[in-house]
Chain A
Amino acid sequence: MPAIIEIQDLVKSYNGRLAVDHLNLAVEEGAIFGFVGPNGAGKTTTIRVMCTLLCATQGDICVAGHSVRKEPRLVRRAIGYMPDFFGVYNDMLVWEYLDFFGACYEIPGPKRTGLVKDLLALVDLTHRYNDPVEGLSRGMKQRLSLARTLIHDPQVLILDEPASGLDPRARVEIRELLVELARMGKTIFFSTHILADVAEICSQVGIIEAGKLVACGPLEELQQHLMPHRQIQVTVLGQAEQASEILKNTPGVANLNQMPGNQNGGRIRLEVEFLGEDAALTAMLSNLVQQGIPVVHFSEDSRDLEEVFMRATKGMVT
């Protein structure tokens, strides 16, 4: 798939302090891209340059084939931007809020009426059509804000922390909406701290720290690259020394740790870092059992994004 967002050697500095340091990134059309990083990493700065709100010190970003430096108006036509705060207009009703932004995107009046109703139905806010925006819950405001980004049918949605501050149910609703929008053909680029959201829905992940991109690609590839070892948990009911000896001599075992102390009536847990395939894994288990080791638990830990993130970043903040 061609890249719909291309960040080319982006540099942004504030009074000599580098907020974004030679960032290069490409997002495929139709992808859900999770932009992850600690506070102060440069996520919001990158997003603001992408949305033509900030001038880059060096480099450029192309969105849907248009440069943010040379064709900002065409970039704005192609993107829908949702910041990490919900800007409220007092005394505005829900339908007026969408109607106003529809007018800002030059959508003719007669077309806006139907569009507003369709978008409110999509984000499940039809029942709040005539209610003041101020009175909506935070989750509803986020859904309304998402509807606003869709009013002009953009190709790319750029969302800064879309699930920030939401309760678990609201987060799930937003996630489901994003997946639905991706199915409709939108490309979604969003920044977040909530790694569970990224793991659930993202087809591509970019990890940024101190202005530099430290890892980028599909999540499985990142996991494979940053955590090549499979983490196997083996719990035995005694004969821990013998089990450890057998495992150390098993092909594919890179490292072995015995967890301190007895757990639950004499059980001892061993953590094995394993490099082999599934066939070698089953052979390992069979070998243990054949050797008479009393195995009570044998499982593999999934390589979660939190672990990937911790391995990719160093905890630096600019």
Chain B
Amino acid sequence: MTEAVPASSKSVKPRHSWSERLRENPVVLKELRSRMRGGRAFILITLYLIVLGSLVGTIFMAFAGASNTPGSLNISQGLGKAVFGTVVGLELTMICFIAPALTAGSIAAERERQTYDLLRTTLLSARSLVVGKLGSALSFLILLLIVAFPLQGLAYLLGGVAFEEVVISFLMLVITAIAFSAIGLFVSSFAKSVLVSTVVSYLIANLVVFGIPVFIYMSLGIAAGLIFGSSNLTLNPTQELIIQIVGLVIGWFFVAINPIATAIATELILIEEQSALFVSLPLPYGGINIPVISPWIGYVLLYLIFSLFLIWAAIRFVKRTES
């Protein structure tokens, strides 16, 4: 007969928070050590700040030089908006093109330098490997965002930038970093080489930023031409309303999946409607106003779901054993 084991002698695995687990992830630790070793990372950050600072300085000088009443409140606010828009726009562009590069080679490089099998025979789970690679890339990207805070702070001090704008822009930048890093990570999880992984990751990133909006725009144009261009077509008011609503939803979606379009639309809504969450859009016909959530909310949710799917898929690819 087996004896019951006293509770005190049972080994209980301590539960760690997600932040503790991320800090203790061996892949994160290794990647950060390698990335921050030597002067490479500091040179990169310095160059990044020089470029960003130079552009902001140029905007500042151009704005101040073109103004007849420098120092006035309106000029100051306008300048603040211009500086903020420049910094956020550049950061957004930087993330769209640097994030895939940071992760596209992450797992494929392990295969190329023949360390992948070494990792796969340890107790390191597929999830830890993938999350570790993502975590280390995101750490560096968020570091680049944080070092640019003083420039955003300058814009905030000049005025014309609400606190909601700073929060929304930071959220959008972080979610963009997660999503575009996840694209590179997903491709890297099945690509055999870093070169193939990088090329495919950039193709997907460009498709997301440029390709899908162009496709939707062209599709909308063709659909509108087919529906409204036919002289024989007669629609009742309900059908017209449905078509308008569908068009509105598609148009909203078209904006919400493109980072630059979302940023511009959200900024316009903040200026016009003074609202960070909702906008009331009038339908072309019928005089009805439809309340729609601000594009940045849709952008954050859509890209979060997209990222989670890509991370899940990457884990599945890494987990499978070669057959």
Which residues 59-87 in A have Cβ within 8 Å of B in the complex?
Answer: 72-73, 76-77, 79, 81, 83, 85-87
Assess the A83–B118 pair: CB atoms within 8 A. Answer: yes
Nearest CB in chain B: distance from A54 CB, A: 5
Question: Given A89-B113, A91-B37, A96-B33, is A55 in contact with B322 using a C-beta cutoff of 8 Å?
Answer: yes
Q: A76-B122, A100-B26, A106-B123 are in contact. List 11 more A-B contacts (CB 8 A).
A: A52-B321, A53-B322, A73-B123, A83-B117, A87-B113, A88-B113, A89-B30, A89-B115, A100-B29, A100-B30, A105-B122
Assess the A87–B322 pair: CB atoms within 8 A. Answer: no
A89 to B321, CA, bound (A): 23
Q: How large is the interface on A (under 10, 10 to 19, 20 to 34, 35 or more residues)?
A: 20 to 34
Assess the B113–A54 pair: CB atoms within 8 A. Answer: no
Assess the B123–A55 pair: CB atoms within 8 A. Answer: no
B305 within 8 A of A: no
Instruction: Please count how many residues in chain B sit with their CB below 8 Å of the partner chain's CB atoms.
Output: 23
Specify which chain A residues have a CB less than 8 angstroms from the CB of B29 in the assembled complex: 100, 103
Nearest CB in chain A: distance from B196 CB, A: 20
B68 within 8 A of A: no
Nearest CB in chain A: distance from B126 CB, A: 11
Which residues 38-66 in A have Cβ within 8 Å of B in the complex?
Answer: 48, 51-55
A129 within 8 A of B: no
Contact with A91, one of B38, B114, B120 (Cβ below 8 angstroms): B38
Specify which chain A residues have a CB less than 8 angstroms from the CB of B113 in the assembled complex: 87-90
Nearest CB in chain A: distance from B187 CB, A: 21
Nearest CB in chain B: distance from A304 CB, A: 34
B34 within 8 A of A: yes
Nearest CB in chain A: distance from B31 CB, A: 10
Assess the B117–A53 pair: CB atoms within 8 A. Answer: yes
Specify which chain B residues have a CB less than 8 angstroms from the CB of A96 in the assembled complex: 30, 33
A280 to B284, CA, bound (A): 114
Contact with A87, one of B34, B118, B321 (Cβ below 8 angstroms): B118
Question: Given A76-B121, A87-B115, A88-B113, is A54 in contact with B34 using a C-beta cutoff of 8 Å?
Answer: no
4 A-B pairs with least C-beta separation: A103-B26, A87-B115, A104-B122, A87-B114
A92 within 8 A of B: yes
Assess the A83–B114 pair: CB atoms within 8 A. Answer: yes
Specify which chain B residues have a CB less than 8 angstroms from the CB of A72 in the assembled complex: 321
A20-49 vs B, CB cutoff 8 Å, 1 = contact: the mask equals: 000000000000000000000000000010
Chain B residue at minimal CB-CB distance from A132: B37
